[in-house]
Amino acid sequence: MSTRRPASVVSLRPTPRILLAGLVGGAATASGIALTATSGWLIVRASEMPVILTLLVAVVAVRAFGIARPVLRYAERLLSHDEALADLARRRSQMYAALVPLTPARLGRRSRSSLLGGVVDEITDVVDAHVRVTVPVVSGVVAGVLAAVLAALIEPAAGGVIALLLLAVAAASVVAYLLERSAQSELLSARARVQQVSDLVARSGLELQAIGAEADAHAWLADAHGTWRAAVRRQARGRSLAAAMILLATGVATAGTAWIAWREVSSGPVAALLVVLPVALGDGLAPLAEAMRALARTEGAQARVSALLDQVPAVAEAGDRIPEAVPEPTTDRLTASWRGDHPDMPDVTLTIEPGAALALTGPNGAGKSTLLAVLARHLDPMRGTYALSGTSVRDLDLAATRARFAVVDDEPHVFASTLRENLRFAGPDADDEDLTTALVRAGLGDLLDSLPDGLDTRLGSGARGLSGGERARLAIARAVVSQRPILLLDEPVAHLDHATAVAVLHDLRSAARERTLVMVSHRPDGLADFDAVIEVMDNGDISTTVCRRAACTDESDEIRQAEEAP
C-alpha cells in the first residue's frame, strides 16, 4: 500500500500541451490585434485614393487575420480543455489514492459531504488553472510582445508606449491577484460551507422534518449564503480594479501613441495603425483580470488539498513479512490513541487463539472500538506490542495483515449498486451461490426471496433502502463472503430485536466456525456462544487469554481487571 502523495495532485506546473495551447492562443490574440490594426491602415490608405492594386495586399492580410483568429482560438480551446479534463481525471484518482492510506483514522472531523463539496471542487479549481490562468497569461505575453515589437519597428517611441501599457497591465494583474488572494480563503470556506449545508439540507429533509428543524436548516442556508455573498463582494474588488485599470491604461496609451503618430509619423495609414494598436491590445489583454481571479482561487484550493493529503497516516508503513493464513493475535500492554495525545483505551494484554470468539462489552467510550481499530491495523499502537502468531505487526506487510481481518462497523455503507456488487467487493472470487449462502447465514434469506430482481436488485441512495437491521446483516454477509479468518464486529446487532440478534449471532458463529471472532457489544444477548466476554472499563487494564471452546484452563479464561498499576 502506497502512503506517498504524488506531488502532481496539486502541482501547478503547466504541461507541454498546455504551453502549446498558450502559444496557439497567443497567435489567436495577435491575429485579432493585427486584424484591427490592418483594417485601420486599409481604410485610411483607401481614403488617399491609391491604385486599387496597392490595397490588395492589405485586403488579403485582413482576410487572413480574420480567418486565423477564430480557427486558432478553436484549436487553443480544444487543446487546453481536453488536456485539463484529462488532467482532472488523473488527479481525481490520484487524490483518491492518496486519501486511501488516511482512511479511516485521518478523515477526522472533516465531514464526508464537505470532503466531496470541498476537496473535489478544489481539485477542479487546481486543474482549471490550466485553462483559466496559464493559457491567457502565455497568450497575453505572446501578443503583447509582438505588438510592442511591431510598434517599435514603426516608431521606437510608440514601442516604448506599448511596453509601458504592458507594464501597467502587468501591475494591474498583480494588484488584482493580491486583492483576490486576500479574500480567497474566506471565499473558499464560504463556498465549501454553502455546498456542505445545501447538500446536507437537501438530503436530510426527512431527518430535519422529524425534529421540526426546517426553520433552523433554512437559517443555516441563509447564513451560509450571507457569508458567501460578502466574500464574493470583497473578492470582486480585485477583478473590478484590474478591469478598470486595464481600460484606463489603454486610454492613456492610445493617447500616447496618437500623440507620437501625430508628431513623428508622416504616413496617414501607419499613423492610424499606431492609434488603434493599443485599443486592440487592451481588448486582447482584458481576460487577464479574470485569469488573476482564477490564479488566486487555484492557490487557495491547492493549499487546502495539500493540508488534507499531507497528514501522516494513522498506520505507518510496516515490514514485508506475510502473516500466517490463520494468525493468532497477541497484545502486550497495548494502548492506542486517535489523536496521539492521550490513550483512548486501557492497557490490554490479550491472546486470542484461532477460532476463539471474544466479546468486548463495557460502557460507551471505554475504548472497545479503539482496540478493534488497532487489531484491524487501522490505528498504530501508541505503547505496547501487537503481534500475529509471534511476529510483531510492525514486521508484517500492512495490506496482507489487514486482509486477515473482516471489519463490520456500526454504520456500514450500502453502495449505490446491485446487491451482488455490494457483497462481491468483499470477496471477488465468490459466485452467486456463495453470495446467497452468505445472505442466508446473515439472516437475509427472506429479504433475498422478496426481491424481484434477486441479487441484481439495486440498493443505495435513490433505490431500495435497507433498514438498520438489514444493513447490519448485509455487513455481516460481506464479512462471511470475504472468508477472512478473523472477524471484527462493532455493535453489529444493535438495531435488531432480541430473537433476531441471537439468531444472527448464532448463524454468524456457525458460518464463522473456523474463524476468530471479536465483537464489541453492550448487550448480553446471544453472547452465550462466545468463549469469553471481557468488560472494557475506563481505567481497568485487561490481561487475558481467549481459547477456543474453553480449551485452556479456567484461570486464564477469567477476566482480571488489574486495578493496581502494572
Partner 1 sequence: MRPFDLRLLRLVPATRGPVGALGVVGILQGIATIALAFALTGVVVAVVDGTELRGPLILLVALFAVRATLAYAAEAIQAWVGVRVASALRERLVAHLLLTPIDRRPDPERTGTLAAQGCSAVEPYAARYLPSLVHAAVVPALAIVAMLVVDWSSALIVILTVPLLPVFAALIGHTTADDTGRRWQALSALAGHFADVMRGLPTLVAYGRGERQVETIEQVSDRHRRATMRTLRLAFMSSAALELLASISVAIVAVWCGIRLAKGNMELTPALLAILLAPEAYWPIRRVGAEFHTAADGAEAIEAVADLLAADASPLPALSTGDRGADERRDALVHIAADGLGYTYPGAEEPVLENVSLQAEPGLTVVTGPSGVGKSTLLELLGGLRTPTTGTLTAGRAHLVSQRPFVAAASVRDNLRLGNGAADEALWEALRRVGLDGTVAAMPQSLDTLLGDDGFGLSAGQRARLVLARALLSSAPVLLLDEPTAHLDAASSATIHDLIADLAERRTVVAVTHRTELLVAADRHHHLEPREVRS
Nearer to partner 1, 520 or 547 (CB): 520
Identity of the amino acid at 418: T
Nearer to partner 1, 81 or 333 (CB): 81
In the complex, least distance from residue 310 CB atom to partner 1, rounded to whole angstroms: 18
CB burial of 37-56 (b: ≥16 within 10 Å; e: otherwise) equals: bbbbbbebbeeeeeeeeebe
Residue 453: strand, helix, or coil: coil
In the complex, least distance from residue 23 CB atom to partner 1, rounded to whole angstroms: 18
In the complex, least distance from residue 204 CB atom to partner 1, rounded to whole angstroms: 6
CA distance 493 to 523: 9
In the complex, least distance from residue 180 CB atom to partner 1, rounded to whole angstroms: 11
Q: Which residues contact 205 (CB under 8 A, 6 or more apart)?
A: none
Nearer to partner 1, 92 or 548 (CB): 92
CA distance 479 to 517: 11
Nearer to partner 1, 222 or 550 (CB): 222
Nearer to partner 1, 145 or 213 (CB): 213
Dump the DSSP string for 2-20.
--PPPGGGT--PPPHHHHH
Within 10 Å of residue 519's Cβ, how many Cβ atoms? 25
**Which of 397, 396, 371 is CA-nearest to residue 384?**
371
In the complex, least distance from residue 417 CB atom to partner 1, rounded to whole angstroms: 8
In the complex, least distance from residue 273 CB atom to partner 1, rounded to whole angstroms: 10
In the complex, least distance from residue 502 CB atom to partner 1, rounded to whole angstroms: 11
Q: Please, are residues 404 and 485 in contact by the beta-carbon 8 Å criterion? A: yes
Nearer to partner 1, 366 or 546 (CB): 366
CA distance 414 to 63: 61
In the complex, least distance from residue 192 CB atom to partner 1, rounded to whole angstroms: 11
Nearer to partner 1, 71 or 167 (CB): 71
In the complex, least distance from residue 128 CB atom to partner 1, rounded to whole angstroms: 12
- All three cell numbers of 478, joined, read 460481506
CA distance 97 to 322: 23
Nearer to partner 1, 377 or 547 (CB): 377
Instruction: Tell me, letter by letter, the H, E, C secondary structure of 281-330.
Output: HHHHHCHHHHHHHHHHHHHHHHHHHHHHHCCCCCCCCCCCECCCCCCCEE
Nearer to partner 1, 188 or 279 (CB): 279
How long a stretch of residues is the chain?
Answer: 566
Nearer to partner 1, 215 or 565 (CB): 215
In the complex, least distance from residue 547 CB atom to partner 1, rounded to whole angstroms: 26
Cα angle 513, 517, 522 (rounded to 5 degrees) comes to 130
Dump the DSSP string for 252-290.
HHHHHHHHHHHHH---HHHHHHHHHHHHHHHHHHTHHHH
Burial class (CB in 10 A: 0-12, 13-18, 19+), 337: middle
CA distance 556 to 36: 94
